[in-house]
Amino acid sequence: MKKNLYTILFIILISLTLTSCKKKDADLVASFYPHYDILKNISKDKLKVDLVVPFGCEVHDFTPTPKDIEMINKSKLFVYASDKIDVWVKDLINTNINYVNLSNEVTIEFSDDIGASIHFWTDTLVFVDMIDILKDEIIKIDPENADFYTENANNYKTEILALHDELVSFLNETTHEKVIYFAGHDALGGFSHRYNIEINSLIEHFSPEAEQTIRQIENIISALRETNTEYLFIEELTTPRVAETIRRELQKDNLDVTLLELHGYHNISLNEGKRGVTYADLLRQNIKHIKQAFN
Ligand SMILES: [Zn+2]
């Protein structure tokens, strides 16, 4: 009997602890992954960082929930990419929100290319700029830890710039034609201009929702056939159905095409999120795949 009473008391105690355990409001909120990655890498565990578009979800076609909006309203800083990609933001922004619209802050060198200007974070050097911009914003919120944030930002910039240099020197040395066929939407313009790599996207549009016409698929098949290309690049987080079709079609001509991912950094999977995969990790993977294709 006494034992039962202890059990009941224990259960009550546990449930009290659980119900009183309220989730801490996020200090810094990013609309989606690339700027989330920066906020996280600069603030580490000093500030709570959250993102609106969850890991694994499509950023181009997103609608926030009332909970997301509450999270943004309660944050100390909200960072988004632009009105063009975060189309849901414009109804939300008011004077009570401390926000950064990154597209107004970064210098986009290749703005005449609409795909490149929307996906500005794919240009490694623009991403490095974003680190500085967001470091300054974080310091405004928490000036006491300025040295900590500055050091983290500098370390992250050093890591990214070392990868950038590695890719530049590889591309300077290789005699391989710098052409990529990409079974995805026109997302890597910034990356393409920065490294002088011609990226032929299957979907000549800046959003993955654009229709993949049979003609475009046929064009990429004949281009791969004519150029004897061994590698076809694919987008992140999508089932490469079209790419698989292209691969099978070329197999009929005894052409073996290998699919490689070229990450556009829009988002990472839930698993990658749990592992803490960074923009630097994704750039490292892109470099590895480009080296494989251009060797
Ligand atoms: Zn995109």
Q: Is residue 111 domain-resident?
A: yes
Count structural domains, the chain. 2
Q: What is the DSSP letter of 200?
A: E
Shared domain check, 45 and 78: yes
Q: How far is ligand 1, taken at its centre, from the CA of residue 224, in Å? A: 23
Residues in the chain: 295
Shared domain check, 153 and 35: yes
Q: Is residue 240 domain-resident?
A: yes
Cα angle 115, 119, 124; round to 5: 120
Q: How far is ligand 1, taken at its centre, from the CA of residue 248, in Å? A: 26
Q: Is residue 175 domain-resident?
A: yes
Q: How far is ligand 1, taken at its centre, from the CA of residue 150, in Å? A: 30
pTM strictly above 0.85: yes
Q: How far is ligand 1, taken at its centre, from the CA of residue 228, in Å? A: 28
Shared domain check, 91 and 150: yes
Q: Which residue, 111, 129, 157, sits at the end of a domain?
A: 157
Dihedral over Cα of 139, 145, 146, 148: its sign: negative
Shared domain check, 78 and 173: no
Q: Is residue 218 domain-resident?
A: yes
Shared domain check, 136 and 178: no
Q: How far is ligand 1, taken at its centre, from the CA of residue 80, in Å? A: 14
Q: How far is ligand 1, taken at its centre, from the CA of residue 116, in Å? A: 10
Cα angle 23, 28, 31; round to 5: 100
Cα angle 238, 186, 54; round to 5: 45
Domain harbouring 185, CATH code = 3.40.50.1980
pLDDT of 21: 59
Shared domain check, 189 and 140: no
Q: How far is ligand 1, taken at its centre, from the CA of residue 121, in Å? A: 11
Residues 6+ apart with CB under 8 A from 141: 27, 28, 47, 76, 77, 98
Shared domain check, 282 and 188: yes
Q: How far is ligand 1, taken at its centre, from the CA of residue 52, in Å? A: 16
Q: How far is ligand 1, taken at its centre, from the CA of residue 132, in Å? A: 23
pLDDT of 9: 65
Q: How far is ligand 1, taken at its centre, from the CA of residue 120, in Å? A: 10
Q: How far is ligand 1, taken at its centre, from the CA of residue 147, in Å? A: 35
Q: What is the DSSP letter of 121?
A: G
The Cα–Cα gap between 282 and 268 comes to 9
Q: Which residue, 157, 180, 195, sits at the end of a domain?
A: 157
Q: How far is ligand 1, taken at its centre, from the CA of residue 11, in Å? A: 49
Q: Is residue 222 domain-resident?
A: yes
Q: How far is ligand 1, taken at its centre, from the CA of residue 8, in Å? A: 54
Angstrom CA distances, 195 to 45, 111, 167, 232, 290, stand at 34, 16, 8, 18, 11
Shared domain check, 71 and 50: yes
Q: How far is ligand 1, taken at its centre, from the CA of residue 179, in Å? A: 20
Q: Is residue 232 domain-resident?
A: yes
> Shortest CA distance to 273 belongs to which of 62, 78, 15, 49?
49
Q: Is residue 239 domain-resident?
A: yes
Q: Is residue 5 domain-resident?
A: no
Q: How far is ligand 1, taken at its centre, from the CA of residue 19, in Å? A: 40
> Shortest CA distance to 69 belongs to which of 26, 22, 103, 121?
26
Rounded to an integer, what is the distance from CA 215 to the centroid of its chain? 29
Shared domain check, 97 and 76: yes
Shared domain check, 189 and 282: yes
Q: Which residue, 131, 157, 183, sits at the end of a domain?
A: 157
The Cα–Cα gap between 209 and 229 comes to 26
pLDDT means per 10 residues, the chain with 295 residues, are 65 55 86 98 97 95 93 97 94 87 93 88 98 98 98 98 98 96 93 96 74 81 92 92 92 94 97 97 98 95
Give the ranges where 20-145 is alpha helix by DSSP (H): 33-43, 66-74, 102-105, 114-118, 124-141
The Cα–Cα gap between 85 and 93 comes to 15
Q: How far is ligand 1, taken at its centre, from the CA of residue 97, in Å? A: 26
Quick one: tokens of 139?
């310091």
Q: How far is ligand 1, taken at its centre, from the CA of residue 58, in Å? A: 9
Are 263 and 122 in contact by the 8 Å Cβ rule? The answer is no
Residue 139 sits at φ, ψ, to 5 deg, of -65, -35
Shared domain check, 201 and 125: no
- 242: domain range? 168-293
* E-assigned strand segments in 22-103: 28-30, 49-51, 77-80, 99-101
> Shortest CA distance to 121 belongs to which of 221, 55, 190?
190
